[in-house]
Amino acid sequence: MKGVIHVPPLASRPARLPFVLVNLAISADGKIATANRTVSSFGSPRDLAHLYALRATADAVMCGARTVRDEGVTLDTGGTRYRRLRLTHGLAEHHLRVIVSGSGSLDPALPIFRRLPMSCPMRAPGRQLVGRVPRPGGEGSWPLSSSKKTRPPPENPPPPVSPAPLIILTTERAGATRCARLAAVADAVLVCGVQEVNWPAALAHLRARWGIERLLCEGGGELNDALFRAGLVHELHLTICPLLLGGRQAPTLADGVGFPRLIDAAQFRLVRRRRVGDELFCVFRRRDPRG
């Protein structure tokens, strides 16, 4: 079926997977939305600028199906200034967008599908390796923002590529009919796994076939949990906001199955933090399991 690719499980874990970052705004009690899910954006304009600037360092931005359905997100670049910022990083003008839906039940009328995507090469001329992607403004201007401190675009920036491609990660649960419906509105539908997405296989495919070296995940809690449990998150960017949402049913940073034992918990160390106004911007990096 055109546009639907069945990604086989891997025989062994590949050495080359994307560097995965998770970025979210959380309330002081760790919630990412209200219990009734009507409110999920509560960060300051500074936090929004940080989100766009972080997107501008990534090859792809990913989120879960419920976030797409609840919030109507489009995972855009954030506008011209951030697209310019991408070019200064040696990245393509648009990042690739990835939606995760094991069931494949996404409404093609959702805002994220509105702009008809076209296939485009992910690599702009002169694109640098992920490890060398310069951070905008360095430590001094962190949290990231596209303020005047960032470098201007080069004299002759690479020609813009086509609008952000869209990929759906799904499973065999979706079935042929849903996959075909999604393939009509996305650039690719990747069937990776039977019930749940097989993450090593999916990420290896994204890296090998789509050039994704740096993948930014923006939640929600269930998707984050799956990535944490798979041990695939390298960095966690949290904006701790000065409010308390409460509510047992309110989604949190990591929901889903979780870790049953302390010894299994995903371990991180705090590598950066900065207070701006009443918000705390934190970066945690995965602890090497070998210690």
Ligand X SMILES: NC(=O)c1ccc[n+]([C@@H]2O[C@H](COP(=O)([O-])OP(=O)(O)OC[C@H]3O[C@@H](n4cnc5c(N)ncnc54)[C@H](OP(=O)(O)O)[C@@H]3O)[C@@H](O)[C@H]2O)c1
Per CB under 6 A, residues contacting ligand X are 24-25, 32-33, 37, 40, 63-67, 70-71, 100-103, 105, 171, 196-197, 218-223, 226, 251, 255
Residue 152 vs 277, nearer CB to ligand X = 277
Return the number of the residue (93 or 218) whose C-beta is nearest ligand X. Answer: 218
Cα angle value 178/182/184 (rounded, 5°): 125
Distance of closest approach, residue 24 Cβ to ligand X, in angstroms: 4
| Residue closer to ligand X (CB basis): 64 or 137 | 64
Least Cβ distance, residue 197 to ligand X (angstroms): 4
C-alpha span between 226 and 195 (Å, rounded): 13
Nearest-approach distance from CB 134 to ligand X, in angstroms: 25
Shortest Cβ distance from residue 43 to ligand X (Å)?
7
Residue nearest to ligand X (CB): 220
Q: What's the CA gap between 144 and 254, in Å, rounded?
A: 24
Residues in contact with 198: Cβ distance below 8 Å, sequence separation at least 6, in sequence order: 7, 9, 192
Nearest CB to ligand X, comparing residues 212 and 227: 227
CB atoms within 10 A of CB 101: 23
Least distance between ligand X and beta carbon 63 (Å)? 6
For the chain, the C-alpha Rg in angstroms (whole number) is 18
What are residue 268's DSSP bridge partners?
286
Secondary structure class of 17 (helix, strand, coil): coil
Choose between 40 and 77: whose C-beta lies nearer to ligand X: 40
